Chain A
Amino acid sequence: MPNSLTFTLVITGAPWTSQAPQTALMFATAALSAGHSIDRVFLYGDGVHLASSLSTPPSDEAHWPQQWSVFLKKHDIPATACIASALRRGLIDKTEQARYELPAENLLAPFEIAGLGEWVEGSQAADRTIYFHGN
């Protein structure tokens, strides 16, 4: 087994409903500082709420979407929200806003919206795929 591993992270628990996004961020931070790498992050099911640009927690509480956004940009890690999960839950980018003629878009950069193929690819590319569930 190589000393340095590549991880794909899958987050299915929503922020403020579960601790999944927070635990995943701590895992990702620890993995990078131990010399491992993160191939990509995939948001699935309720996990897509992490990519909302409209989350507005009280100012004295942790802002998980913002913390994730800063982390992803800093380390140049691609992150995708599953399109089927996202559309059902009202997480919309400009393309889907135009396609479905919706009144708004709310996808936080650098998250992108794509299909489950991203998860399949990520599972193949990584040495380990780790799931962060809400329950």
Chain B
Amino acid sequence: MSTLIVIDQAPYGFWTGREALDMAFSLAAFDQPAAMLFTGAGVNWLRKGQRPDGVGQKSAEKNLSAAPLFGIEALIADEHACQQYGLTESTMLPGVELVSNIRDVLGDHKHVVFAG
């Protein structure tokens, strides 16, 4: 029974993304399969070289790069949103799976949780 955590808002402006990330980490900590999908402005979580010092926050990029270590099975990004926000393989965290049809990804998971 796999759970997909969906983030569709850019990092730093809202706390909901971080709390969604905690949900994914928590599933992994309890040995439950979890994956994350980034869509819309949420793909900016995956951008390399974030400098959050200016807004006094911890780096979302750093948190997210620990995801595979914590046992999160996949980081999935909406290809169309990546194009829209100018994200390419060279400007994105490594190991992200690009998909063109997120409907299939949603359908592949028993549980889907959208960041509040």
Query: Footprint of B on A, CB under 8 Å?
Result: 12-13, 44-47, 84-85, 115-117, 119-120, 123-124, 129, 131, 133-135
Contact = CB atoms under 8 A, between A and B. Distances in A.
B58 to A, nearest CB: 13
Contact of A44 (B19, B30, B111): B19
Given A116-B22, A133-B114, A123 B3 contact: yes
A124 B24 CA distance: 15
Contacts of B15: 45
B59 interface: no
A124 B116 contact: no
A120 B16 CA distance: 18
Chain B interface size range:
10 to 19
A123 B22 contact: no
A131 B114 CA distance: 8
A44 B18 CA distance: 12
Contacts, number: 40
Interface of B: 1, 3, 15-16, 19, 22-23, 26-27, 30, 32, 111, 113-114, 116
B116 A13 contact: yes
B39 to A, nearest CB: 16
Contact of B30 (A12, A13, A46, A120): A120
B74 to A, nearest CB: 18
Nearest to A123: B111
A134 B3 contact: no
Given A13-B116, A45-B116, A123-B3, A85 B19 contact: yes
Contacts of B26: 115-117, 119-120
